[in-house]
Amino acid sequence: MTTDILLVDDEQGIRKVLGIALADRGYRVHTAADARQALALFDELGPPIVLTDIKMPGMDGIELLRALKRRNPETEVIMITGHGETDLAIRSLKYEATDYISKPIDDDILDVALKRALERISLRAQLREYTENLERMVEEKSRRLIQAERLAAMGETVAGLAHAIKNITGSLRGGLFVVDKGFELQNQDYLKQGWRMVRDNVARVEQLSLDLLDIAKPGRPDVTPTDPAAPLRAVFDLMFPRAEAHDVRMTLQCAPDLRAVPMDPEAINRCLLNLVVNALEACNSEPNRCLTPTIALTVEAGEEGVCYHVSDNCGGMTTEVQARLFKGFFTTKGSRGTGIGLMLARKIVENHQGRIAVSSTKGAGTTFEICLPWGHNISQLSE
């Protein structure tokens, strides 16, 4: 391809002679008599190479060089110097001139300077092409890796879901077996017991379906300024009678003067309810672990935001169990659990830009913590 070149010199004779020499070398030559005209042509044509006299009236060659570099740092600028202007030529190199040649212009020296400029242009083009190819390769590799990770995650999710469904169907079969025995033996107690098992497991299927739908929803909570104590009080009022029926002491402590926090109160209520239900089940399944099973609910102001705590003094978990607790379909409840509750709780909290954590000691008890930030704008969480 023919390369454009801009020749700038205030002497018409040099423009004419040097212009012919450049044209003979295959360049498309544009000429300017001063820096102002040169800049206008440069803005219009954007030539990759500029040859400019270093001494010109008005704006000199060095100022023109600096102006050209501001417009396009990749422009190759060759300075033309007169006798005794070596200091100016060296100064131009500090401003990233490609080279300089002296008058009278020697053809071989001109060719060397032009070759150097073309090599720099070619090298940049190759580097740009290499970088673009590398970016495309990285993008493709990343896309494939993400796809592989998604497939792996999908496989893990399907396996976990299959396990949860298997647990429920196993319990359903047990219930149906008891119902059949009730009909076979004409035993009303068997019929009632089996029917309760079937009914409970149908409810588990319904809850599993609702939980899966919640997990699949877009991560945009429907936030509104909310009293942080309100969701926790609602959970306490709901679960207190059940705890009392199982001889579990439940306490509530709300810090005074808590300011409103942007949150989806229904979603946070569900998170807290899940944690309290888990704590109650832990206390029920470990009746001999402590003399007085207790569940403590607290909400308080912290540096990072409002923090909820759901603590029990029953059972506890090993560090290995804690590390797996929020991962897909992991449960400590055996065939009675699906693991979705804590998955959903983590998703809800993270969608609020908060955090959920657990600390536990085997045989001593467990504390779950949910912290929601003060500072986020409600519109940011909603978008």
> pLDDT over 70 for what percent of the chain?
83
- Domain count of the chain? 3
Q: Is residue 302 part of a domain?
A: yes
Q: Does the pLDDT of residue 183 top 80, yes or no?
A: no
Q: Are residues 378 and 293 in the same domain?
A: yes
pLDDT digits (tens, 9 = 90+) for 273-318: 888 988 888 887 755 456 788 999 999 987 778 999 999 888 787 8
Pull the structure tokens for residue 324.
């797996």
Burial track 73-96 (b if 16+ CB lie within 10 A, e otherwise): eebbbbbbbeeebeebbeebeeee
Q: Please give the pLDDT value at position 213.
A: 54
Higher pLDDT, 345 or 96: 96
Higher pLDDT, 129 or 218: 129
Q: Is residue 131 part of a domain?
A: no
Q: Is residue 74 part of a domain?
A: yes
Locus of tokens 């495309």 = 136
Q: Are residues 237 and 309 in the same domain?
A: yes
Residue 69 sits in which domain range?
4-105
Question: For 9-21, what is the mean pLDDT?
Answer: 92
Higher pLDDT, 332 or 122: 122
- Answer with the one of 181, 216, 251 that is the final residue of a domain: 216
Per DSSP, 3 falls in state: P
Q: Please give the pLDDT value at position 110.
A: 93
What CATH number should be reported for the domain holding residue 238? 3.30.565.10
Q: Are residues 373 and 233 in the same domain?
A: yes
Q: Does the pLDDT of residue 349 top 90, yes or no?
A: no
Q: Is residue 342 part of a domain?
A: yes
Q: Please give the pLDDT value at position 380.
A: 47
* Per-residue pLDDT band at 263 (split at 50, 70, 90): confident
Average pLDDT, the chain: 82
Q: Are residues 282 and 321 in the same domain?
A: yes
* Per-residue pLDDT band at 72 (split at 50, 70, 90): very high
Q: Are residues 370 and 237 in the same domain?
A: yes
Q: Does the pLDDT of residue 41 top 70, yes or no?
A: yes
* Per-residue pLDDT band at 43 (split at 50, 70, 90): very high
Q: Does the pLDDT of residue 30 top 70, yes or no?
A: yes
Q: Are residues 89 and 230 in the same domain?
A: no
Question: For 38-46, what is the mean pLDDT?
Answer: 94
- Considering only 84-98, 120-134, 183-197, which range has the smallest mean pLDDT? 183-197
Q: Does the pLDDT of residue 21 top 80, yes or no?
A: yes
Q: Is residue 29 part of a domain?
A: yes
Pull the structure tokens for residue 383.
């978008």
What type of residue is 93?
Answer: L
Higher pLDDT, 139 or 326: 139
Strands (E), 103-239: 224-226
Question: For 343-352, what is the mean pLDDT?
Answer: 83
- Answer with the one of 158, 192, 216 that is the final residue of a domain: 216
Q: Which of 76-85, 107-116, 170-179, 333-342 has the highest mean pLDDT?
A: 107-116
Question: For 170-196, what is the mean pLDDT?
Answer: 79
Q: Please give the pLDDT value at position 342.
A: 79
Question: For 52-61, what is the mean pLDDT?
Answer: 91
Q: Please give the pLDDT value at position 20.
A: 93
Q: Are residues 232 and 370 in the same domain?
A: yes
Q: Please give the pLDDT value at position 64.
A: 94
What CATH number should be reported for the domain holding residue 89? 3.40.50.2300
Q: Please give the pLDDT value at position 381.
A: 46
Question: For 261-267, what is the mean pLDDT?
Answer: 87
